[in-house]
A and B are shown apart, each in its own frame.
Chain A
Amino acid sequence: MTDFPGAPDLRAPRKGLRVLAAMSGGVDSAVAAARAAEAGHDVTGVHLALSANPQSFRTGARGCCTIEDSRDARRAADVIGIPFYCWDLAERFREDVVEDFVAEYEAGRTPNPCLRCNEKIKFAALLDKALALGFDAVCTGHYATVVVNENGTRELHRASDMAKDQSYVLGVLDDRQLAHAMFPLGDTVTTKDEIRAEAERRGLAVAKKPDSHDICFIADGDTRGFLAKRLGKAEGDIVDETGAKVGTHEGAYGFTIGQRKGLRIGHPAADGKPRYVLDISPVNNTVTVGPVEALDVIALTAIRPRWCGVAPEGSGTYTAQLRAHGGETEVTAELVGDELQVTFTEPVRGVAPGQAIVLYDGTRVVGSATIATTERAAAQAAQSA
């Protein structure tokens, strides 16, 4: 673990930066914008219109992409006392996030669209436009911490409150992007209730607004239904590890490795134990299921690495996070060419190609990559048997 003594954080930033605050209409980004303004920055609020045909109202508890959300963001900006605009990034979002999401599922992988949005939209399309227009930084309501080293380089760290930490979805940012990122909520050791209380104190009407969850462009939360509409029904077989057919499905894209629910397998396994999705093969439209032990992954390769700073050389020991709300696990990783080769100290379950692996050194984000292949413990056991 490395420490960074003396590194100033953005809790005491220089004042008077021109800051563009991305405001979703939710409570976090509203409080973040308010804090940035209170810290003495010249803040302008922007709501990103990401849907070409926004719904008028939220359904259920989900945020983003409705006209009501844009109005909530506008009202928050009014109260904070900052200018506010809506920017239409729907076309970029569709191309870079939604289409990628569909294509990844179609290819049997499990993408994380929030990471993709941070990489391609918030800290690319939006940031580039902001910088060109004379802004110094983009501010969001993410829970993560940017540390500025004495030599001026930036590091991304986990939020002070590990329970709120969102550094995983920011693991795709490089140091240039970080140099212009501001996360005013990152070093708050606080609960969501306290953020809501702060919003209330500041007179922000979004204080009581429900949290957004899941995927903003799938308003009803039905990912499988969304994919079915885009990709059509494609009936195929569900097979066990021996290749014996145990059921059928209406589209392999509707499954995620490690999934247990919703398999609708007619007859139980011989041992009576629950079965999990082990493999998705889009080529022959087959889903393979098996016992939980067969999910154990001991190593993986990942592509498209992104580093917060200089790429590490040689083999190193890190902690890794594999899902937005997943725990940490110890790994050994080495960059070989453009491919990250990762070995787990202990086997882990529920690792799917398409997911991002984010490497940490203590609380510091080292970098991230997209999982391409996994190596199962069972396969190795079979080989050595």
Chain B
Amino acid sequence: MAYLDHAATTPMLPEAVQAMTAQLALTGNASSLHAAGRRARRTVEEARESLAAALGARPSEVVFTAGGTEADNLAVKGLYWSRRAADPARTRILASPVEHHAVLDAVHWLGEHEGATVEYLPVDAYGRVHADALREAIARNPGDVALATVMWANNEIGTVMPVRELAAAAAEFDVPLHADAVQAVGQLDVDFAASGLAAMTVSGHKIGGPYGIGALLLGRRYAPVPLLHGGGQERHVRSGTLDVPAVAAFAVAGELAAARRADFAREVGALRDSLIASVREAVPDAVLGGDPDPAGRLPANAHFSFPGCEGDSLLLLLDAQGIECSTGSACTAGVAQPSHVVLATGTDAELARGTLRFSLGHTSTEADVAAVAEAIGPVVERARSAGLS
């Protein structure tokens, strides 16, 4: 079995499993005032501190959420509402067109229901937003911009965005920039303070932590309008009883992701390079998606379009041989649609139907790459004979 879909979710680290199971046996609501509550609270705050340290943030900047999607929604909707409340003229949202659906659909919803004007920033053929493009877009009318949102690195094609330059451009106009860094943590040097971002989304299960936990790193001057009202936890920005076991395990995974990042990037990057080389050798007309320069893409990401193939045919054939990857596209009722990311890079719609994303992780081996190298040629040939339905 070759699991090459770590960008979807990656196995939990044993250390995180241990931290989580240890906490599951304990009792205590972190908001309670008695000893059990204080113990739980202490666990949460220690986790907050270690996660903050791992991500270059202050502990008070960590707002725990139930995952990346919630953190993205909180950032986009919450900042929109608070910025508009402070100045009704601020209704313009600038977003990259290659965002994850958790951002894209939230932005779209604000446009449909909350009077936002959504403007998609131009991207190059690698799906990258350049700082000049953001600067130019804000400068057209700096007074009406509520926020900008550009992901740190793309989940499908792996392109890394120039986050610092983008944040600097936004800062020139005092516009808050949010970045979804779900895919970047553990693979790139993610330092919240150094980035200049106003808000940043991270997720547990993409870095070896548990499902259902994430965080929005939130600069202290920002008070987004909450999505969830209730007990006032998490700076009154995110109410709800804290999931102590998940928080503890998330922090362990975050710490390890940061500590192991350089080695991981080097090792998994080498495997990824070999995977790309194998695929190109077996299928010379395969088109690599994203930035071909390893410095410009996530070290664990390989993305291809295979001319004349249907992505779901490729996936089925690889799956039957025990190779698990993704078409990298959105699903409705499990039906693959051409990816908005691939289309945004200017790839034609027909080629965009034959995409596959291989994403590596901490359990990936040379054997996984060898399995792909052996299977991909015949699989593409077969899928091509099935054609585009």
Give A residues with C-beta under 8 Å from B. 44, 47, 49, 54, 67, 70-71, 74, 83, 85-89, 92, 125, 128-129, 132-134
Contact = CB atoms under 8 A, between A and B. Distances in A.
A132 B319 contact: no
B389 A125 contact: yes
A89 B386 CA distance: 14
B183 interface: no
B385 A70 contact: no
A129 B389 contact: yes
Interface string B222-237: 0000000000000000
Interface string B329-353: 0001111110000000000000000
Main secondary structure of the interface of B (DSSP, over half): helix
Interface stretch (B69-77, B86-94, B310-318): B310-318
Given A132-B382, A133-B317, A133-B383, A74 B389 contact: no
Interface in B366-389: 382-383, 385-387, 389
A83 B320 contact: yes
Given A54-B333, A86-B335, A92 B389 contact: yes
A133 B385 CA distance: 8
Interface of B: 312-313, 315-317, 319-320, 332-337, 382-383, 385-387, 389
A132 B385 contact: yes
A289 to B, nearest CB: 44
Contacts of A44: 316, 320
A222 B316 CA distance: 37
A128 B310 CA distance: 14
Main secondary structure of the interface of A (DSSP, over half): mixed
A88 B317 contact: no
Contacts of B383: 133
A85 B312 contact: yes
A132 to B, nearest CB: 3
Given A87-B312, A125-B389, A133 B333 contact: no
Nearest to B353: A88
Most chain A CB within 10 A, of B316, B317, B319, B334, is at B334
A86 B333 contact: yes
A125 B312 CA distance: 15
B379 to A, nearest CB: 10
Contacts of A83: 316, 319-320
A119 B315 CA distance: 27
B333 A85 contact: no
B389 A49 contact: no
Contacts of A85: 312, 315-316, 334
A74 B334 contact: yes
Nearest to A89: B389
Contacts of B317: 133-134
Contacts of A86: 333-335
Q: Which 3 A-B pairs have the closest CB atoms?
A: A132-B386, A86-B334, A67-B333
Contacts of A129: 313, 386-387, 389
B263 to A, nearest CB: 36
